[in-house]
Copies of this chain bind each other. A is one copy, B any other.
Amino acid sequence: MLDSSDSRTARRAGTRGVPRPIREGQILDVAGRVFAARGYHAASMDEIAAQADVTKPLIYAYFGSKERLYVACIERAGQELLARLRAATVPTAPEIERLHAGVLEFLHFVDERRDGWQVLYSEAAARGGPLAKEVASLREAVAKMIKRLLTHSTNRGEPSAETDAELDGVSHAFVGAGESLANWWLAHPELRAERAAELLMALGRAGVQQATEMTSTQAPRVPQDPTR
């Protein structure tokens, strides 16, 4: 299945004496690629070691376990994503523009760092173990960012507990929409990033609208048909 590259026979190039941080970087790069390509469970330390041109004991010396290696990958990609989102959404701009900028930045991240993105997304739904937690908490972080944007853009005092839950819901829905669109987009590059962002923004604006209604009046349960 893995070609003929038996991990035992793999001729190692034998780069020795590389300083630790650099090696860690190399390893994380490869690990990210492999995890993205195969998913956590199906990825094997053997393959990662072979592709990183390093022996397994070294990986264990540096990362301790497969799980910790995986977490390190997620962390790296996740922190980068968060940082880019933060940097892109300067607080002085109007909320709607911040959202737009964030969405665009997200799409760029996905585009540029396919592997990083896939590793984040691929196990997003996997259950069990502490693996899911790591990813889930990242989604939570992004959802929180979105929620803040939604809330702030309609500043009318503290939302009620019920309204707060609904805001959470909308945020998660929006995050999911972004993920799903991003994944579809990876397979359909004919759509320009700006246009893809537009599509998402349409949903975002709907979210803001919804949020506005929710925080102002008790939202009507059956809104009249807007297409009328």
A162 to B199 alpha-carbon distance, docked (Å) = 13
Q: A162 vs B196: C-alpha distance in the bound complex, in angstroms?
A: 12
- The reply to whether B212 and A128 form a contact with Cβ atoms under 8 Å apart is no
Task: Assess whether B212 is in contact with A8, with CB atoms less than 8 Å apart.
Answer: no
| Min CB–CB distance A136 → chain B (angstroms) | 10
For A4, give the chain B residue with the smallest CB separation. Answer: B64
The contact string, 1 if C-beta is below 8 Å from chain B, for chain A 18-39, is 0000000000000000001111
Docked Cα-Cα span, A206 to B205, in Å, equals: 8
Task: Say whether A209 faces chain B, with CB atoms less than 8 Å apart.
Answer: yes
Query: Which of A6, A61, A178, A180 has the most C-beta atoms of chain B within 10 angstroms of its own C-beta?
Result: A180
User: Given contacts A126-B123, A206-B203, are A181 and B176 in contact (CB under 8 A)?
Assistant: yes
How far apart are A40's CB and chain B's nearest CB, in angstroms?
A: 8
- Give the complex CA separation of A40 and B42 in angstroms: 10
Mark A122-159 against chain B: 1 for CB-CB distance below 8 A, else 0: 11111111000000000000000000000001000000
Contacting residues, chain B, for A11 (C-beta < 8 A):
none
Closest to A60 in B: B8
Instruction: Tell whether A177 pairs with B202 under 8 Å between CB atoms, given A125-B121, A165-B188, A169-B188.
Output: no
Pairwise interchain contact B153-A177, C-beta atoms closer than 8 A? no
Which A residues have a C-beta under 8 Å from some C-beta of B? 6, 8, 36-42, 61-62, 64, 94, 96, 118, 121-129, 153, 162, 165-166, 168-170, 172-181, 183-185, 188, 190-191, 194-196, 198-200, 202-203, 205-210, 212, 219, 221, 225-227
